Amino acid sequence: MKAAVLREPNTSLQIEDLDLADPGPGEVRVRMVATGVCHTDASAISGAIPVPMPIVLGHEGAGVVDAVGPGVTTLHVGDHVVLSVMPSCGKCASCVTGQPWLCQVAAPVLFAGKMLDGTYRLRQDGSAVNHFFAQSSFAEYAVVTELGAAKVRDDAPLDVVAPLACGASTGIGAVLNAAHVEPGASVAVFGCGGVGLSGIMAARLAGADPIIAVDVLPNKLEMAASFGATHLVNAAQADPVQQIRDLTHGFGVDYAFEFIGRKDTMEQVIEAIHPGGHAYIVGGAPVGTRFSADALGFLFGKNVHGVVGGFTRPTVDIPRFVNLYMNGKLPLDRLVSRRYSLSEINDAFEAMHHGEVARSVIVF
Ligand code: APR
Ligand code: ZN
Ligand code: ZN
């Protein structure tokens, strides 16, 4: 099969022929129909997130099951699935206590290039090629673990719902699963990329008001308005924390979300909430990044939370979010700004770096 391979940091992905082993016990093989291009793939390319190479990136895949391994009971050939950035074993203490995003079997392998059992399915000329998030969806086929593939309704367009594998679910889940934002709550969203815009959609669905969008790019703020932001704050023009306070009687918001992955904006979301408010760190910062908070302000009941992957329970939440899209409640279709073929994948990263797109999707 054809796959996009990264051989060295900061180089272009090369389309190469790879071998893919049959699905093992508890695994399925998926014929890829579409896969989103996420900022975390770019972080792996740049080295901000170190990964072993050569590697096939991609972790927002969606497709059709075309083979099932021994012991698979919940998926069948022909099922439409959205793959998840949060595959899990279903059996460890984190999984059994309802936190599959912390799966103790998956955590050590997701950035280590391996499948959940510590081995490889991808090979070239007999040598192992590394996996990303035990998924590697920048390829025509992928073998994934059963609980890393969420069956979705057949009538859902896979090129629209693919970003629910990671970015869209991360934004929606942060708002609905982690924060449980209630009607009338005041919300600030820092970062209006694919993740932040998904957070804005969810805040609107939850009935939040106001919804204050923060970005440094005017075109991203325009998109934010079209997804339901009630107020727009350009952080390149003036201090975003002061602008948020000005919009909230000097007090700050109930909930603030960091959907970027930067130290300065992580510190800003903590400043943007009122005493007793809740700040959520959702963006993935480069390894080694630290942030700090004003100690006296913190003393007055500020709550700061880390939310990985929107606390998504893939097989429960992804079909739920797909239904909300199909019923007109989450405009995921407008998130997908551009479609590229696999051979054009480097152009998709260029467009991301230039801030031109909310989300690009590779279609096979
Ligand atoms: N203040 C406000 N907004 C900023 C700033 C800043 N200082 N710097 C960048 N931004 C905006 C960008 O203009 C862009 O619109 O943040 C947005 C980030 O969007 P994308 O690059 O499209 O990233 P996205 O895919 O949405 O992911 C965001 O979530 O899951 C994590 O790893 C992922 O860290 C990444 C984050
Ligand atoms: Zn991602
Ligand atoms: Zn587990």
pLDDT (mean) for 85-97: 96
Q: Is the CB of 259 inside a 6 Å radius of any atom of ligand 1?
A: yes
What values do phi and psi take at 48, rounded to 5? -60, -35
Identify the residue whose C-alpha is closest to ligand 1 atom 1. Answer: 215
Neighbouring residues of the ion ligand 3, judged by CB less than 5 Å:
88-89, 92, 95, 103, 105
Q: What does the pLDDT look like over 136-180, one tens digit per residue?
A: 999 999 999 999 999 999 999 999 999 999 999 999 999 999 999
pLDDT of residue 355: 82
pLDDT of residue 108: 93
Percent of the chain with pLDDT over 70: 100
Q: Is the CB of 351 inside a 6 Å radius of any atom of ligand 1?
A: no
For a pocket test of ligand 1, which of 57, 220, 260 has the largest count of ligand atoms closer than 8 A to its C-beta?
260
pLDDT of residue 286: 86
pLDDT at 252 over 90: yes
Average pLDDT, the chain: 96
pLDDT (mean) for 255-260: 98
Question: Is 210 in contact with 179 (CB distance < 8 Å)?
Answer: no
Q: Is the CB of 260 inside a 6 Å radius of any atom of ligand 1?
A: yes
pLDDT (mean) for 295-302: 94
Beta strands in 101-249 (DSSP E): 122-124, 127-128, 141-145, 149-151, 187-190, 211-215, 231-234
Residue that wins the pLDDT comparison between 358 and 134: 134
Which ligand is closest to the CA of 57, given by its number? 2
Instruction: Please report which confidence band the pLDDT of residue 228 belongs to, taking 50, 70 and 90 as the band edges.
Output: very high
Taking the centre of ligand 2 as the mean of its atom positions, its distance from the CA of residue 59, in whole angstroms, is 6
pTM of the model: 0.95
pLDDT of residue 282: 97
Q: What does the pLDDT look like over 37-55, one tens digit per residue?
A: 998 999 999 998 899 999 9
pLDDT of residue 287: 86
Question: Is 4 in contact with 41 (CB distance < 8 Å)?
Answer: no
pLDDT of residue 320: 98
Residue 214's beta-bridge partner residues? 190, 233
Q: Is the CB of 193 inside a 6 Å radius of any atom of ligand 1?
A: yes
pLDDT at 301 over 90: yes
What values do phi and psi take at 232, rounded to 5? -120, 130
Nearest to 27 by CA among 153, 134, 174, 173: 134
Burial 103-122 (b: 16+ CB within 10 A, else e): bebbbebbbebbbbeeebbb
Give residues with Cβ within 8 angstroms of 269, minimum separation 6.
Answer: 188, 190, 256, 257, 258, 279, 280, 281
Q: Is the CB of 133 inside a 6 Å radius of any atom of ligand 1?
A: no
DSSP annotation of 173 reads H
pLDDT of residue 48: 87
pLDDT at 58 over 90: yes
Q: Is the CB of 216 inside a 6 Å radius of any atom of ligand 1?
A: yes
Q: Is the CB of 317 inside a 6 Å radius of any atom of ligand 1?
A: no
pLDDT (mean) for 241-263: 97
Q: What does the pLDDT look like over 321-358, one tens digit per residue?
A: 999 999 999 999 999 989 999 999 999 999 999 988 88
